[in-house]
Amino acid sequence: MEFDVYVGIGSNLEDPVEQCLEARTRLAEAEGVSLIRSSSLYRSEPVGFSEQDWFVNAVCHLRTELDAHDLLRALQGIERDMGKRVPFRWGPRIIDLDLLLYGDQTIDESGLQVPHPRMHERRFVLQPMVEIAPSVEHPLLKVSMEKLLFRLGEGQKVELIER
């Protein structure tokens, strides 16, 4: 059985645009995964720890037969291979891959929460999600990505940087 999944990409170190493009390429080449669509790249102000460079973010729509745990391991392998190191929570990073949605499933386990527990609060996730999947519903909130973005209102600055 195949699942439609959405993965968030983020970077703010060592040429973040190139890091995000590299991550997107690696996702497309990952075993058991097909890249369906990718959003544009967005520049976003940091959340949680503001004393760092702005991030570059995107979201990819993937299709996979991998179960959620195997997909998470694949994402972590890409991060590791790209040199991910996080000195502290919400700190700067070369690459960050977040499993946002895995079909319409909800998973709440140690080390794996789907949907991503803060995705509905983050403009840097919702803006690119709305670009590629505006009508996809959040499995817990039962609201479309487009409505979630509208509800978010003003706040974090997010700017389109590439089409």
Structural tokens at position 66: 């991998």
pLDDT score of 162: 59
Q: 86 lies in a domain?
A: yes
Q: 142 lies in a domain?
A: no
Q: Domain limits at 7? A: 3-118
Q: 46 lies in a domain?
A: yes
Structural domain count, the chain: 1
Q: 80 lies in a domain?
A: yes
Please state, in angstroms and as integers, the Cα–Cα distance from residue 22 to each residue in 17, 53, 79, following that order: 9, 19, 11
Q: What is the 3-state secondary structure (H, E, C) of 73-131?
A: HHHHHHHHHCCCCCCCCCCCCCCEEEEEEECCCCEEECCEEECCCCHHHCHHHHHHHHH
Q: 15 lies in a domain?
A: yes
Q: 150 lies in a domain?
A: no
Q: 32 lies in a domain?
A: yes
Local structure of residue 72 (DSSP, 8 states): H
pLDDT score of 163: 56
Q: 66 lies in a domain?
A: yes
Local structure of residue 48 (DSSP, 8 states): S
**CATH number for the domain that contains residue 100:** 3.30.70.560
Please give the chain's pLDDT, 163 residues, in tens: 899 999 999 999 999 999 999 999 999 999 999 999 999 999 999 987 888 899 999 999 999 999 999 999 999 999 999 998 876 777 789 999 999 999 999 999 999 999 999 999 999 999 999 999 999 999 999 999 999 999 987 778 999 995 5
